[in-house]
Amino acid sequence: MHRSRTRGACMVRAGRHTIEYTLAGPDFESGSSVRMAFVAGAGNFSASWELQEAAFRTQHQVLLLENRGMARSGSPGGLLWSVAGMADDVLAVLSSVGWDSAVHLVGHSMGAAIAYEVACRARPGQLASVTQIGACVTPRCPGCWCGVNGAPVPLEGVWRMCKLLLASDVAERVEANLRLNYPESFLQQQAFDGGVGTNREAVVRWLQRTLRGKGAVRQASMMRQLLAVILHQPAPLPSTAPPMLVIVGDQDISVHQASIRARADDIGASLLVIRGAGHNCFLQSATHVNSAIQAHVMASSVPLQERTVSMPPAACRETDVLLPM
């Protein structure tokens, strides 16, 4: 049995600003365990990965970083941020902790776009795998509001995002968050955390935990993050890119569903479609998502020359997981 340890919040300089991160897991000084780094989405703190940290920290080293403008991470000057700049933030943190090889990178939403960009910019061998959750930005499908052949993200998703950004009080902001990220059928089910009430109350409790000790989300930071994703033009993946896994809920209104298979084809990725799940499927379906991440990490940790079974084409690697309703 491994003892899980946590290193308190640390700061690293990335250009003219600083980035906050935490490390947890067994023997993180020795470097003997699998290395996993998690990048949150726009307007989310690193604590949003609490179910993933709890699942992996007993066996693996887990690094959680706060994106620029979040918690104690600094904000670089200038009006416009970029996904490439945020990818450099991640690379600065990885370099600071000495993670120069075999890193398994996981990102959600904007964090998925950042993870993709890190894969484009990292040195060969620095990343062992990448998992992208709830993202559809690819060389063929640029911009977070554009799908295959320019088809837009569902209008409901755009409307819900606007409601979230323009919310005038906490209650309105929470309700907008729920409607953007989760299907109503899920919110009406019994609380997944074993607490009182329905999943609506459980998600609110989760939101409260992620905000604890972090302060309020700075609206200017969130706007800059979202604008960076909207304007992002991703580059083609290099031939040295690590194995990719794309995870999406089929009820995700923040992405164009028809783009998902194109995304997997574009980057040669495995594809996991979780039926009945919304944008925050990493919380709604944490067990399925964590199992998929673990399987991807373990498969990607085997040296290429030692793999006895070759991976089939991306189109043959789609898996549906049906959630109980």
Split the chain (325 residues) into runs of 10 and give each run's mean pLDDT: 59 88 78 88 95 96 96 88 96 96 97 96 97 71 46 71 81 92 97 96 94 78 88 87 95 83 82 95 98 97 51 43 49
Domain 5-154+219-322 sits in CATH at 3.40.50.1820
pLDDT number for residue 198:
98
Please state the φ and ψ torsions of residue 294, each to the nearest 5 degrees.
-60, -45
Residue ranges per domain, the chain? 5-154+219-322
Determine the Cα–Cα distance for residues 180 and 182; give it in Å rounded to an integer.
6
Partners of residue 36 on adjacent β-strands: 62, 104
Q: What integer pLDDT is reported at residue 143 of this predicted model?
A: 46
Q: Is the pTM of this model over 0.85?
A: yes
Annotate 59-106 with DSSP letters as a single string.
TSEEEEEPPTTSTT----SSS---HHHHHHHHHHHHHHTT--S-EEEE
Q: Give the three-state DSSP class for 120.
A: helix
Q: Helix 83-96 and helix 219-231: axis angle, to 10°? A: 110
Q: Which residues contact 21 (CB under 8 A, 6 or more apart)?
A: 9, 10, 11, 12, 46, 63, 64, 65, 66, 93, 97
pLDDT at 159: 80
| Pairing mode of beta strands 5-14, 17-25 | antiparallel
Cα–Cα distance, 217 to 45 (Å, whole number)? 8
Quick one: pLDDT at residue 93? 97
pLDDT at 231: 86
* Amino acid 27: pLDDT: 65
Output the six-digit token pair for 315: 């189109």
How far apart, in Å, are the Cα atoms of 79 and each of 18, 221, 223, 224? 17, 10, 10, 7
* The pLDDT value given to residue 323: 52
Distance of alpha carbon 178 from alpha carbon 174, whole angstroms: 6
Q: Give the residue among 301, 296, 303 at the shortest CA–CA distance from 317.
A: 296
- Beta partners for residue 105, in sequence order: 37, 130
Three-state DSSP state, 7: strand
